[in-house]
Structure 1
């Protein structure tokens, strides 16, 4: 399944300031969430289904993505 990203409205966290090396997120049709590298906006993007995005962000906020 391929998501249409042509009209996506990408944004960065307000915590990223003016730094160029950030991820950008876009909320897409059907509840999907796109994620891309701000340094390469024409490059590939990950697209999460709604439930997968919820699990990813919950794990991230809980610190479960920290490397050991």
Structure 2
């Protein structure tokens, strides 16, 4: 999904038609934008790509699971 700039917003192919999803886009300077697919004109959270990659790795590894 384009937002009128060169950004291409992506969401999971498993997302539901109601759009209750998080969308991600590559931004400038090695950063990633994150937004709510139900509010595409709303706020965009801006993270360093390396920080988001580390967070997703922790999720995959179960490091954030309750013990």
TM bucket by the smaller chain? 0.7 to 0.9
Equivalent in the alignment of 1:53: 52
Residue 9 of structure 1 deviates from its aligned partner by: 1.0
Are residue 29 (structure 1) and residue 13 (structure 2) matched? no
**Structure 2 stretches of 5 or more lacking a match?**
none
Equivalent in the alignment of 2:40: 41
Equivalent in the alignment of 1:9: 8
**Structure 1 stretches of 5 or more lacking a match?**
1-5
Change beyond 3 A, Cα 1:67–1:7:
farther
- Distance (Å, rounded) in 2 between the aligned partners of 1:66 and 1:44: 28
Residue 39 of structure 1 deviates from its aligned partner by: 0.3
Tell me the matched-pair count: 64
Q: Runs of 4 or more off by more than 3 Å in structure 1?
A: 64-68
- Distance (Å, rounded) in 1 between the aligned partners of 2:38 and 2:66: 24
Equivalent in the alignment of 1:3: none
- Distance (Å, rounded) in 1 between the aligned partners of 2:8 and 2:56: 20
Q: In terms of mean alpha carbon deviation, does 31-40 or 45-54 score higher? A: 45-54
